[in-house]
Amino acid sequence: MGLLDDFTEEDLIEEKEEEVPEEEEEEEKKGIFLKCDPNKKSIPTRDRANYKVKLINSASSSISVDVRMHVFYSSEIEDPVPWQIRVFEREKLSDPSDSVTKTMELEGGEEEIIPVDIRAPEGAKYGDKAEVIVDATSTKDKMLSDSLTLITTARPSVVAMKTQINQEKNVADYIASWAKDKDMGVFSILAPKPVRGYVFIEAMNPTMVDEITEGTRKAKGIIGGETSIEEIEHFLAPKLAVEGIAEGDIVELSAGPFKGEKARVAQIDKDNDEITVELFEATVPIPVTVRGDHVRVLEKED
């Protein structure tokens, strides 16, 4: 007698069914995933946020997936300006009532990249959001699904406006007066003294700023492209008077009881913006501490 002679055909079928691990059946059901890193971005008006949504089939068998996208706006105004949104490379999606659906075929273990391009419009308010909701659902089993939301927030653009030389402050004042009277979304205006012929403007709608300055000859228009905060942040912090002064430099005191005296820099205190000098004319070298803006450098130490 063989070892299997006592088993009926029904027993063998049940035995084979029991050999399939429950974990493998569960893994087969977990076939659809959506991933995007990062899924949140903050961009200035007129700029674009590019997302690469990854659709993943983690199961071993092929699967057909309906990918649906629609947009939701979050704004402080009742009728926000539509954003320019492009999905699946060519399809446009702007109105919340619109939706785009595409059926995608994925082999077992295959991944597919879905591009989403979002542009923040001029006229958007600070903090306005465009949320693109991505839903992926199996065409055969509606229980197999996943969802992902791409959140893009609008922030002001920082642009540079060219002006006539020595008219930077006048142009800045002109724009500021308009910004107070009209809702132009202008947050700040910077006319740094070291930069001649330019004014920097932080605004939600730079085109509107450009249009209101067309009537003055002092302003020559906005230069194309955005200026990053990193490019101008050194103008926002006060410059220390001791910058550019080194130990050993020969200086002339321009204020205080030793005004007009020459001295050598002995020590620099950047925390207090002061320097300690030794006077040349003193019989005994006496250290004198003065403010950094109370000296004029005559000769640099080699």
Successive 10-residue mean pLDDT values, the chain, 302 residues: 47 48 46 94 91 94 95 87 90 87 94 95 88 95 94 92 92 87 81 88 86 83 78 73 88 90 91 90 83 89 71
CA atoms of 154 and 279, how far apart (whole Å) = 58
142 lies in the same domain as 50:
yes
> How confident is the model at residue 30, as a pLDDT?
60
Instruction: Answer whether residue 245 is part of any domain.
Output: no
> How confident is the model at residue 87, as a pLDDT?
94
150 lies in the same domain as 230:
no
87 lies in the same domain as 166:
no
Instruction: Answer whether residue 130 is part of any domain.
Output: yes
> How confident is the model at residue 281, as a pLDDT?
80
Distance in angstroms between the alpha carbons of the first and the last residue of the chain: 106
Query: Cα–chain-centroid distance for residue 145?
Result: 31
273: domain range? 250-299
49 lies in the same domain as 143:
yes
Among 185, 209, 236, the domain-final residue is 236
- Report the CATH number that the domain containing residue 124 is assigned in CATH: 2.60.40.10
Total domains present in the chain: 3
172 lies in the same domain as 134:
no
> How confident is the model at residue 251, as a pLDDT?
93
CA atoms of 153 and 111, how far apart (whole Å) = 28
Instruction: Answer whether residue 3 is part of any domain.
Output: no
Among 128, 155, 182, the domain-final residue is 155
pTM above 0.85, yes or no: no
> How confident is the model at residue 25, as a pLDDT?
43
Instruction: Answer whether residue 180 is part of any domain.
Output: yes
Cis peptide before 115 (omega within 30 of 0): no
162 lies in the same domain as 286:
no
142 lies in the same domain as 37:
yes
Instruction: Answer whether residue 14 is part of any domain.
Output: no
